[in-house]
Chain A
C-alpha cells in the first residue's frame, strides 16, 4: 500500500550514500584527483575552506574539498566538525603581521611608502580571458620560471614592514585602538551574547562567509551605512606562530601560516570629546583571501557606528544582525533543514486552514464580527 513508500529510511540512506560516493568519483576512466593536487593547484579554494572552517591545515582542507566534490561550504563544514574534536594544547601569542614575510603588500593611499608596494600574485591586472592553453594537456601548459625581479634580488625585504595605519597613528590622525591584555572571548567555546565586544565581532567575521561579508561590505559603499573607505593597506604573506608553554617560560616558533590582512581607513567627523580623525576597519583571514579580508574590514568598521556616535540604521551596522547571520555553516544547516520532513507541523497548519475556511463558509461575517 502507499503508506509503505515512506518507510524504509535505513535502506534509502545506505543507497543514497552509495550513489553519492559514485557521483563524487565521477567517470572512473578519468584519473582520480589527489589531495596534493588540490592543495597545490586549487590553493584559493583551500584558503577559503581553512578560513571558514577556522582550521589552518592545507592537507585536511584539500581532503575536505575532495570529499565535498568542491562544494566549499560543505568542505568548511567537514573541517569544522573535525576541528571541534581536537584537543587544545595552547593558545598562540598574537601574531605580529608587521614582521610578515610579504608576498603581496599594497596601499591605496600612498604612492610609495617604507617597505614599498609589492604587487605579488594577483588577478587584479589580468585580462579575464579564458586561457585555452590550460585546457590542453596539463604538462604542455607554460609555467614561467621563478626569476626574482632585479629589485627583489637587490634589496632583501626588511625584517619589519611597518603598517601604513601605524604611520597615520603616529601622526595623531588615526584613532588609537585600546590596548588590553584581557583574554579575548572565544566564540567556538562560549555562546555569543550582546552587546558583543570587538574581539567577538572580529572572530565571527574571520570565520564568516566570504559572500555574506562581500555583500554587506558592498552595501556600505552604496549608501547603506556610508563609511568612505580607503584601503590603507592590504598585505598577504607568512607569519610565525609562537606559543609560550608555561613550563618553558619563553616563546617558541611552531611554524608559519599564510594570512591576509586588510586595514581600511575611514573618515570620522569627530565628536564632542574627540577631534576629527580617521578610524580603522580591520580584516584578517587565513590564507590568501583579499575579498574576504576587505569585506571584513568594511563590516568591522560599519559595526563600530554606535561606538563612534554615528547613526546605526544600515544592515551592516546592526551587530546582532551581522553576527547571527555571518556563519555559513549555521546558515546552510538551518536553510537546508527545510528539506527534513515537516509533515507534523504541516498537518497542523492544514487542519487550521481548513478550520478557518469552514468557518468562513458557514459564517461569512467572520472574525471579530465588526462591520467593515
Chain B
C-alpha cells in the first residue's frame, strides 16, 4: 500500500517487537513489556496480535485469521483485509495451508504443525488481574512464583459450586514456572496448548505485553489433585458435519427456543463435510 512499509509497521518497530518475541520465547509464559504502537484498528480489537503478526510476517507467508473459530466473522475479515492490503501476502481460510494463524478466542481443531505459528489476540494478559488489580504487585507475584492467590480462587469455586467455574481464559502454568492467561479461549481448547508443535505467540496491544509458548512446552491448567481439570462442551454433535469432538456454537433458530449446534471452527466443519460428501460419492 502506498506510503506504508511492508506489513504497515516500520522496520525499527518490527525489530523492537521481534526482540520482545525472542525474549518471550526464551522465558515461556513470562509477559514481556513492549512499546506497543497505535494501530489503525481500535484497542481491544486485536492490536497486539496484529503487531506480532506484522513483525513476523514475510512475503512468502500464508495468513489465516479467525475470530470465534470462524474465518468469516467481521473482525477476522477486517484484519485479513488489513494484511492483504498492507503486506500483500496470500491469505487462506484453510488451517493446513496457513503458515501464520492469527486468532481471537479459539485454537483450530485441526492439529497444528511445527511449520506454523499461532498468534493470539490478548485483551488482558495478566492472569492475576481479577484478583489483584495492581500491576506492581502482580509483577512481584510472578517474580516469586507466588500463585497461592490463584488457587484460592479455584478453592472458592469448588467450595461454592462443587467445581471450578472458569469456563474460558482458564489460567495455565507454563513450563512449570509462569502462570499465564491463555487469552479468552474456551477451557475446552486449553489442553491443545500443551506440547503443541507450533510456536504460540500472544500479543496484548493496549496492555503492551508479549508472551510466548515455544513448541513442545508443557502447559498445564491449574487444578487440585482431587479436583482435576475437566472439559466442558455442549453434549451434542455438529448439526452440519456430525463431529462429536469439536467445540460447538449454539445457534438460535427461532424465538420459540429452537436451536442447533454447529462447529465453531468453520474450516474444520467445511473440511469434514467435504470429506463426507467424498465418502458418499
Contact = CB atoms under 8 A, between A and B. Distances in A.
Interface in A1-24: 1-3, 6-10, 12-13
Interface stretch (B108-116, B179-187, B218-226): B179-187
A256 interface: no
A191 B253 contact: no
Nearest to A195: B136
A348 B74 contact: no
A333 B37 contact: no
A337 B162 contact: no
B44 A344 contact: no
B264 A344 contact: yes
Given A337-B123, A342-B105, A191 B186 contact: no
A347 B229 CA distance: 18
B36 interface: yes
A340 B45 contact: yes
Question: What is the predominant secondary structure among interface residues of chain B facing chain A?
Answer: loop
A10 B72 CA distance: 7
A335 B42 CA distance: 10
Interface in B48-98: 67-69, 72-78, 81
B45 A337 contact: yes
Interface residues of B, number: 68
A324 B208 CA distance: 11
A350 B250 contact: yes
B136 A194 contact: yes
Closest 3 CB pairs of A and B: A333-B43, A337-B44, A191-B208
Interface of B: 4, 8, 10, 33-40, 42-45, 47, 67-69, 72-78, 81, 104-106, 123, 133-136, 158-163, 165, 167-169, 184-188, 206, 208-209, 232-234, 240, 247-254, 260, 262, 264
23 contacts: A1-B253, A2-B252, A3-B262, A7-B72, A188-B35, A191-B34, A329-B43, A334-B43, A336-B44, A337-B44, A340-B75, A341-B67, A341-B74, A342-B105, A344-B105, A345-B105, A349-B167, A350-B234, A351-B234, A366-B161, A367-B159, A367-B160, A367-B161
Given A8-B72, A340-B104, 15 more contacts: A2-B253, A9-B72, A80-B38, A81-B39, A85-B10, A190-B33, A191-B33, A191-B35, A194-B134, A320-B133, A320-B136, A345-B169, A347-B234, A349-B168, A352-B165
